Structure 1
Amino acid sequence: MNETVKVDRRDAKLALAHLYVAFIALGLGGLAGLLQTLVRSGKFTLPANISYYTILTTHGVLLGLVLTTFFIIGFQFAAVSRTAGTFSDRVRFWGWVGFWLMTIGTAITAFFILIGQASVLYTFYAPLQAHPGFYLGLTLVVVGSWVSGFAIFAHYARWKKEHPKQVSPLLTFMAVANMILWLVCSLGVAATVLIQLLPWSLGLVDRINVLVSRTLFWYFGHPLVYFWLLPAYMVWYAIVPKIIGGKIFSDSLARLSFILFLFFSIPVGFHHQLMEPGIDPFWKYVQVVLTFMVAIPSLMTAFAMFATFELYGRSKGATGLFGWLRKLPWGDARFFAPFVGMVFFIPAGAGGLVNASHQLDQVVHNTIWVTGHFHLTLATTVVLTFFGAAYWLVPHLSGRVMTKAMNRLAIIQTIVWVIGMTFMSGAMHFEGLLGAPRRSAFSTYGNSPQALEWIPYQIAQAVGGTILFIGIILVLVIITNLAFFAPKGETEFPVAELAEGAERTPLAMENWKLWIGITVALILIAYTIPFIDMIQNAPPGSKGYKLW
């Protein structure tokens, strides 16, 4: 396998530009999140008549969409350049086009949120309506990400042409799979924004079908979670083994898990709509079954990762059932942060099973339990893995090295994040079980006995949010140092080798026509009939826009 040792300087600039925007979004979105928790505690009032829902929207959009999309695409550009060779001038040009479209779209979207014209929350559900500029900005972000995705596809196609009958590098394969997932699922949000919400906000139509818009959003919204998660899996499968000094347990297993995520992450949006009327229970049941199928690649990943850790530990002389744990490099932040993210994925996954169950979801639906779950999956598992990746990625791209002092600070940052998230997410889960609603400011609760019962948990969330904001400041200090002030030198882009004796990866793994065909078939099975039913049987008040 031909692998470049270092990402080409021109490709590194493209990747770094994405990472800079991602960490700026982390700082601004994190500040909005801190203000949210303070308001919810009842001990703080926003100045200048700023709406709680303005900062809620700012927090959700900047962290849920901007931070993740920019970091993922920047990381994937770097990973593909590292493993499949330097980009051509044309691929790099379109990468920059995608970056600027996304950046301009982000600026437009943020502007209309901050002036109070788009306080429509992270999910921007109708009948909440934003300024047309908000929807235009979101459209540019999505289109820009598509351009970047096709740039990656073009480079992958060139590699395949130059290496016939060879299996592509694992990280390149994973980046391609994740961008296919993103392109397919983001068609849903593009459809609802362009065909429904934008014409509606411009006054071209009076009414839209709200159930259709929510369905299109969650067709996108749930696989969005896996768009976030799969780059973390890329780090776990292909990079963490190299960092600890081990090898990849199974290349085929890693690729199969990504293919299964492609199959089972998109046609499952109804499990976010289990409490909504207008969707036949049978189709909800079908999508719940498909949702639970996602547990299979997750368990495969857990098996592969802990097999890698144990094999490494045994090679260093570990004995006993858990002796290998002592052999892992706990003092290396590049390993420590992603490993902690893996551990938090265990309770996060358990909470996801609750949310996806038709019966259990009735207890927690639309409570702040869901927000707590969200902060375990994205804000802990994914974000900590991204931080761990940034600790070698940023210095590799900027031509610098991570000092012992920065490594120590990164270990402290991870511990601070764990403490803060334990307070905040734990309190959200318990408060949700007591029935506290999500998306609501303290002032909306009143003085009922039930609302008074929630107050200790809201204060705990404020404590946790404050600690988390300290964690954000620490990581921004580290990244700024690694990008601009750390000593110059060579930092490795770690890519693990396959373990000796592992099975050979079959070429059939890259039969994309088959995998995409199966994905489309599952989507058509899960959505066609219920979607037709939503349009034909829409309530009279929502029919004002032909079939939509």
Structure 2
Amino acid sequence: MLSETLQLTKANKKLSLAFIAVAFISLLIGGLMGLLQTLVRSGTLTLPWGIDYYQILTVHGVILGLVLTTYFIIGFQYALMGKTVGMTVKERKIAWLGFWVMLVGTIMTATTILLGKANVLYTFYAPLKAHPVFYIGLALVIIGSWFACFVNFHQLYRWKKAHKGVKSPLLAFMVVANMILWLIATLGVAATVLVQFIPWSLGYAETINVLVSRTLFWYFGHPLVYFWLLPAYMAWYAIIPKIIGGKIFSDSLARLAFVLFIMFSIPVGFHHQLTEPGIDPTWKFIQVVLTFMVIIPSLLTAFSLFATFEITGRKKGFGGLFGWFKHLPWKDVRFFAPMIGMLAFIPAGTGGIINASHQLNAVVHNTIWVTGHFHLTVATTVILTFFGISYWLIPVLTGRKLTAKINRLGIIQTIIWTVGMFFMSGSMHIAGLLGAPRRSAYSTYSGTEQASDWIGYQIGQAIGGTILFIGILLMVYIFLNLTFFAPKGTEEFPIAEEEKDAEPTPKFLENWKLWIGLTVVLILFAYTIPFMDIIQHSPPGSPPFDWPIGNS
């Protein structure tokens, strides 16, 4: 394959490692905040020095949900693009510029949160108001990420121009698909931050339209989940097969799944707003239907992955109904961690179907069930896959070896993470079904009938959070070891090949104009009329936002 003849240069490795280093620093900070939250909610800890619970909640959500994921994804994708289509000096300079813009924005945002000037949670809903620097920093993070989008687009464009008529490398195709999704989705949050929140926080606007801001946020907020998830899919589709000694089941199926994710993950934000007034129920129903369309590429992925596992196992001579499954390389952490993430996606996906269902959503909406769902999807499926990627990617970037000792520690870390998440996410799901609220430090509500039921599960969350923090400390140690202390050597950059007799990939799957055009049509269909209704029928300046809860 053309993609495997390329080598990552030292300069390219340094770029990717810079992004991933910020991600692991974020893991440590955000993980500590998560541990403190579970201890506060269980009643076993009172925060010292006047620290507010919602301050650590905001740090946890922003640092892990936005900073860690975005930095790791961009660093990983730069490595994939450098390996498959290469990177020019000019592209690398622009990439570094994007890194510094993102870093400045991250520091600005984090500083305001740590100073208690932005206790507005991960979703920063109005009428909660943060210091203007929080929103400006957030805007810089988004703008900096757009540098990465355009660098990746140019990398593939340059490669296609030099290889006319040749199918693009699968991983390069996947990276570009994910960045198209990210660019389109972030237009919503960029619009609400630049047009609404920054003028409002600076005092240039007295009021803010809450429903507009929430709608623009969730236009971004739902595809954000797939921006997290698609890099994991890249590893599942094109890297795990190489690790297990197999080949990609179907290049066409993989590309089709990514195209469908672009189209059906963006125009569905209303399913996060099912209980909100001001949005016509018909449009909520339409977006719920569109939400369920994303199940198709998810099932395609499950079929493709397990077909790869079975075919590989049977080629190696493992017979019986499940012989192929038992003989997968369970002792190789590069496979084990992502595989546990895949298996966790089964209950995570089921919970997602419940959250997106109009009637069932009414049962769990704004309960801690939703938080438990996020911890199964992002904090288990995605993060365990990112950890699995790190075991080979960091040695590739640092010129070191994945030793047998670190491999064993990685297996232990994965087990610790799985056990911790079983306690924490499981407790959250059950407490949510009993009505325990999310986003609240006072989830015991002493004096209520439910308090005795909830407190046991809050303790379960604290136990799970403690176990998870041990897993975080171990993962940070592994990162430091693979970066600075592991023996020097050469580690494989595992990219799987197609089967030799695979069917040719249809050319229309690489017709970006077609897929972007269809996506825009779906977005306009799903949002134009209801958004016009929201703007026209919202009372002017309604409601007033000089309430005490508007932090400044």
TM range, smaller chain: over 0.9
Q: Which residue of 1 aligns with 2:42?
A: 41
CA-CA distance at 1:6 after TM superposition: 3.1
- Residues 245-290 of structure 1 show CA distances to partners (whole Å, capped at 9, x for unaligned) of 0000000000000000000000000000000000000000000000
Q: Which residue of 1 aligns with 2:31?
A: 30
Where in structure 2 are the equivalents of 1:145-184 lying within 5 Å? 145-184=145-184
- Residues 85-124 of structure 1 show CA distances to partners (whole Å, capped at 9, x for unaligned) of 2x11110000000101111110110000000000000000
Q: Whole-Å Cα distance in 2 between the matches of residues 101 and 230 of structure 1?
A: 24
Q: Partner of 2:185: helix, strand, or coil?
A: helix
Q: Which residue of 1 aligns with 2:476?
A: 476
Letter in 2 for 1:67: L
CA-CA distance at 1:499 after TM superposition: 1.5
Q: Whole-Å Cα distance in 1 between the matches of residues 222 and 254 of structure 2?
A: 21
Letter in 1 for 2:402: M
Where in structure 2 are the equivalents of 1:62-141 lying within 5 Å? 62-85=63-86, 87-141=87-141
Q: Whole-Å Cα distance in 1 between the matches of residues 48 and 544 of structure 2?
A: 40
2:437 is the counterpart of 1:437 = yes
Q: Whole-Å Cα distance in 2 between the matches of residues 230 and 79 of structure 1?
A: 13
Q: Whole-Å Cα distance in 2 between the matches of residues 374 and 414 of structure 1?
A: 18
CA-CA distance at 1:543 after TM superposition: 7.8
CA-CA distance at 1:452 after TM superposition: 2.4
Q: Which residue of 2 aligns with 1:383?
A: 383
Q: Which residue of 2 aligns with 1:422?
A: 422
- Residues 313-364 of structure 1 show CA distances to partners (whole Å, capped at 9, x for unaligned) of 1011121221111220000000000000000000000000000000000000
CA-CA distance at 1:376 after TM superposition: 0.2
Q: Which residue of 1 aligns with 2:224?
A: 224
* Gap change, CA 1:541 and 1:444, over 3 Å in 2: farther
Q: Whole-Å Cα distance in 1 between the matches of residues 408 and 193 of structure 2?
A: 45
Where in structure 2 are the equivalents of 1:349-364 lying within 5 Å? 349-364=349-364
2:35 is the counterpart of 1:14 = no
- Residues 378-406 of structure 1 show CA distances to partners (whole Å, capped at 9, x for unaligned) of 00000000000000000001100010000
Letter in 2 for 1:135: Y
Q: Which residue of 1 aligns with 2:259?
A: 259
Q: Which residue of 1 aligns with 2:289?
A: 289
Letter in 2 for 1:336: F
Letter in 1 for 2:56: I
Q: Whole-Å Cα distance in 1 between the matches of residues 423 and 444 of structure 2?
A: 23
CA-CA distance at 1:447 after TM superposition: 2.3
Q: Which residue of 2 aligns with 1:201?
A: 201
Q: Which residue of 2 aligns with 1:511?
A: 511
Contact 1:160 1:166 in 2 (8 A): yes
Letter in 2 for 1:313: G
2:502 is the counterpart of 1:502 = yes
Sequence identity percentage: 68
CA-CA distance at 1:507 after TM superposition: 2.0
Letter in 1 for 2:16: A
TM-score by length of 2: 0.97
- Residues 124-151 of structure 1 show CA distances to partners (whole Å, capped at 9, x for unaligned) of 0000000000001000000000011101
Q: Partner of 2:124: helix, strand, or coil?
A: coil
- Residues 168-203 of structure 1 show CA distances to partners (whole Å, capped at 9, x for unaligned) of 000000000000000000000000000001100000
Contact 1:316 1:327 in 2 (8 A): no
Contact 1:52 1:441 in 2 (8 A): yes
CA-CA distance at 1:541 after TM superposition: 4.0
Q: Which residue of 2 aligns with 1:58?
A: 59
Q: Whole-Å Cα distance in 2 between the matches of residues 117 and 498 of structure 1?
A: 52
- Residues 497-526 of structure 1 show CA distances to partners (whole Å, capped at 9, x for unaligned) of 001322111222111011000000000000
Q: Partner of 2:2: helix, strand, or coil?
A: coil
TM-score by length of 1: 0.98
Q: Partner of 2:47: helix, strand, or coil?
A: coil
- Residues 22-46 of structure 1 show CA distances to partners (whole Å, capped at 9, x for unaligned) of 0000000000000000000011100
Q: Whole-Å Cα distance in 2 between the matches of residues 248 and 260 of structure 1?
A: 19
Contact 2:437 2:443 in 1 (8 A): no
**Structure 1: gaps (5+ residues):** none
CA-CA distance at 1:5 after TM superposition: 4.8
Contact 2:26 2:68 in 1 (8 A): yes
Q: Which residue of 1 aligns with 2:520?
A: 520
CA-CA distance at 1:446 after TM superposition: 3.3
2:488 is the counterpart of 1:488 = yes
CA-CA distance at 1:9 after TM superposition: 1.1
Which of 5-14 and 255-264 deviates more? Answer: 5-14
Q: Which residue of 2 aligns with 1:273?
A: 273
Q: Which residue of 1 aligns with 2:550?
A: none
Q: Whole-Å Cα distance in 2 between the matches of residues 444 and 413 of structure 1?
A: 31
Contact 1:41 1:442 in 2 (8 A): no
Q: Whole-Å Cα distance in 2 between the matches of residues 5 and 502 of structure 1?
A: 23
Q: Partner of 2:435: helix, strand, or coil?
A: coil
Where in structure 2 are the equivalents of 1:328-367 lying within 5 Å? 328-367=328-367
Q: Whole-Å Cα distance in 1 between the matches of residues 125 and 544 of structure 2?
A: 17
Q: Whole-Å Cα distance in 2 between the matches of residues 503 and 130 of structure 1?
A: 54
Letter in 2 for 1:202: L
Letter in 2 for 1:425: S
Q: Whole-Å Cα distance in 2 between the matches of residues 281 and 234 of structure 1?
A: 36
CA-CA distance at 1:529 after TM superposition: 0.3
2:455 is the counterpart of 1:455 = yes
Q: Whole-Å Cα distance in 2 between the matches of residues 490 and 505 of structure 1?
A: 33
Q: Whole-Å Cα distance in 2 between the matches of residues 119 and 445 of structure 1?
A: 22
Residue correspondences, number: 544
Q: Which residue of 1 aligns with 2:304?
A: 304
Q: Whole-Å Cα distance in 2 between the matches of residues 443 and 33 of structure 1?
A: 15
2:240 is the counterpart of 1:240 = yes
Q: Partner of 1:129: helix, strand, or coil?
A: coil
